[in-house]
Amino acid sequence: MWKAGPMDTNSNRQWATVADSLRRAIQEGEWAPGDPLPTTAALRERFKASGHVVSKAIQHLKNEGLVTGVAGGRTRVRVPRPHAVRDSERYIAEKRNVLEPTDERARYGASEADTGIAIDELYEDRARYEVVSADTETARLLNIEAAESVLQRTYTRRHAAGAGITRATSYIPLDLISGNPDLLDSGKEPWPGGTQHQLSTVGIEIDCIVDRVTAAMPTPAERDDYDIPQGVPLLHVVKISHDTEGRPVELTRIPMPADTVELVYRTQLPRWDECR
């Protein structure tokens, strides 16, 4: 176990010395990702420092994203979130996948596309389906009447024990999919080929997908659920899928912590001789 040396008696430096010592101990494996740190009392004794100094050091490590915890609870080593790359070309791959046999479709999904982690390697993978009335904003984006019935699908995943969640919430007008009861059954998840294949079973072909991205600071509940360090915003991706008639047929809301995601958008431009 790494042991602290003599403490700097300057209170403005003591917290930094404690933070450096704790960081080094974590990096050297004294506490693994997900492990709780010793109590404040134990750390005060270990570093011969005041509670104020220990608390300031812990807060500094929280701001770095190295440890996590809520006020009044135990602080633990943060389980690193895998870096996610959300590339717009994934939608083309998903459409091509619709035409593949079931075994082929099952090999590729959102988890594999974004993080390279296979679904069967996830610590937690839950899908919840329920029929709800569309709120005003959802109805506007789907071009339906407010309070019209939609299938709300909430996908919650966690890549490792103690890690923050990922969550996506999808909305599909109920009358578009009522012809296939399987589409209302969460027990069919994970569905090989995902949403594009599901919609294809009722004759809907996706022709265009629009992503709208905004950012906002997370609420305390979101910070806890997604395990977001202090000061990191939450990106909000709103994905709207349109069919070949231009109708919006599916809407997905995807919150993503900004410190571990990369959004890649590609736009193929026409050649000048094609513009004349």
pLDDT digits (tens, 9 = 90+) for 197-234: 999 999 999 999 999 999 999 999 999 999 999 889 99
User: How large is the average pLDDT for residues 246-272?
Assistant: 95
pLDDT the model gives residue 226: 95
**Tens-digit pLDDT profile for residues 112-160:** 878 888 888 999 999 999 999 999 999 999 999 999 999 999 999 999 9
The answer to whether residue 2 scores a pLDDT higher than 80 is: no
pLDDT the model gives residue 10: 61
**Tens-digit pLDDT profile for residues 67-111:** 998 777 789 999 999 999 999 999 999 999 999 999 999 887 777
pLDDT the model gives residue 112: 80
Closest CA to 132 of 169, 167, 165, 157: 169
pLDDT the model gives residue 7: 47
Q: Where do we find the tokens 């997370």?
A: 218
Q: Which two tokens stand for residue 247?
A: 């109708």
Long-range contacts (CB closer than 8 Å, 24 or more residues apart) made by 44-53: 46/4, 47/4, 47/7, 47/17, 47/18, 47/21, 48/4, 48/7, 49/7, 49/14, 49/15, 49/18, 50/11, 50/14, 53/11, 53/14, 53/15, 53/18
Q: What is the mean pLDDT of the chain?
A: 92
| All structural domains of the chain | 11-77 (1.10.10.10), 84-264 (3.40.1410.10)
41 and 30 Cβ atoms separated by less than 8 Å: no
The CA angle 116-104-118, to the nearest 5 degrees, is 25
Put simply, whether the predicted model's pTM sits higher than 0.85 gets the answer yes
User: How large is the average pLDDT for residues 175-203?
Assistant: 96
pLDDT the model gives residue 120: 87
**Tens-digit pLDDT profile for residues 46-61:** 999 999 999 999 999 9
Of the chain, the percentage scoring pLDDT greater than 90 comes to 82
User: How large is the average pLDDT for residues 10-23?
Assistant: 87
Which amino acid, one-letter code, is at 251?
A: L
pLDDT the model gives residue 115: 85
pLDDT the model gives residue 118: 86
Of the chain, the percentage scoring pLDDT greater than 70 comes to 95
Give the span between the Cα atoms of 91 and 245, in whole angstroms.
18
